[in-house]
Amino acid sequence: MKQPVRIKTISEFHEFRKLPKPEHPLISVVDYSTIKHDADVNELSWILDFYSISIKRTSNAKMKYGQQEYDFDEGVMFFMAPGQVFGVTVDPKTNEKAKHTGWILLIHPDFFWNTSLARNIKNYAYFDYSVNEALFLSEKEENTLHSIIENIRHEYHSNIDKFSQNIIISQIETLLNYAERFYQRQFITRKISNHKILDSLEGLLTDYFSNEDLITKGLPSVQFVADQLNVSPSYLTGLLKILTGQSTQQHIHEKLIEKAKEKLSTTQLSVSEIAYELGFEHPQSFSKLFKNKTNVSPLEFRQSFN
């Protein structure tokens, strides 16, 4: 993939993708089928300094988001925050150009000034998901979102007045809330792949806490666990919250406490020695966490076996 092109404004995006000048400098709805592609360009990547929300179907192309690659033949919804890398790779084995359908909503952060979304946009975790964690929509769900997009398009196409920004912001919030609902539905309905992630998480943590290198490696971070499972940290925590009611950090702590109980009940190691073996630099931190999770100190837990 070539060096990504940085695109700072929505006007620059329209120019970059050979589109007519946008009607509004801070918000735009683009029909993917109108985007023109150079026949001799097989790879293209860019970094946007604004938000984008897309429903896209693509033939004869692979999409890249950061270092993740995904096939968009079936059409899915995905979200990008400012500063993230997105790219397209067209199959060079065929002369057919990549064909796109769907839409993309572009929103510059300046559009959110003095509105509720200036604060709340950060609460929608799926802007941090990778493209392989995109949202798969039913036809009914897609139609619901398409109607909202049409409302947004109609509003900024109309005469702009003092109500326009608030009306568009409320439509965007509705879109984002529907997306959150649909993601939670996806976590539940895509059971096979989600259970594989749960099984992999269990195996990963079991192996990690059974490794004698814990003293040097320290405790596993949420980022490390997510990387090992090939998902983003925010997606993993969102999935686990829906399926188990616990965050990734809570799962790590649960496995840690399980291992600590095993050592306290089956070895003669001191609490400090166990703390070091489990990757803690300071035994006090281990004792505090253990008591928070079990309501007894490590010594009290050990004494309960005597």
Residue 93 pLDDT: 56
Q: Tell which residue, 36, 103, 49, has the closest CA to residue 76.
A: 103
Residue 150 pLDDT: 94
Residue 72 pLDDT: 45
One-character DSSP codes across 94-156 = S-PPPEEEEEEEEE-GGGGTTSTHHHHGGG-GGGGS-GGGPBP--HHHHHHHHHHHHHHHHHH
Residue 85 pLDDT: 80
Residue 298 pLDDT: 92
| H or E segment to which residue 216 belongs | helix 214-217
Q: Residue 279: CA atoms inside 13 Å, Cβ hemisphere, count?
A: 18
Q: How many helices (H) and strands (E) does the chain have?
A: 12, 9
Residue 190 pLDDT: 73
Residue 186 pLDDT: 86
Spatial strand order in the sheet of 76-80: 27-31, 99-107, 51-59, 76-80
Residue 34 pLDDT: 83
Residue 73 pLDDT: 47
Residue 62 pLDDT: 56
First-to-final CA distance of the chain: 63
**Ranges in the chain, pLDDT < 70:** 1-2, 37-43, 58-75, 88-100, 131, 191-193, 305-306
Cα(237)–Cα(246) distance, integer angstroms: 8
Residue 71 pLDDT: 45
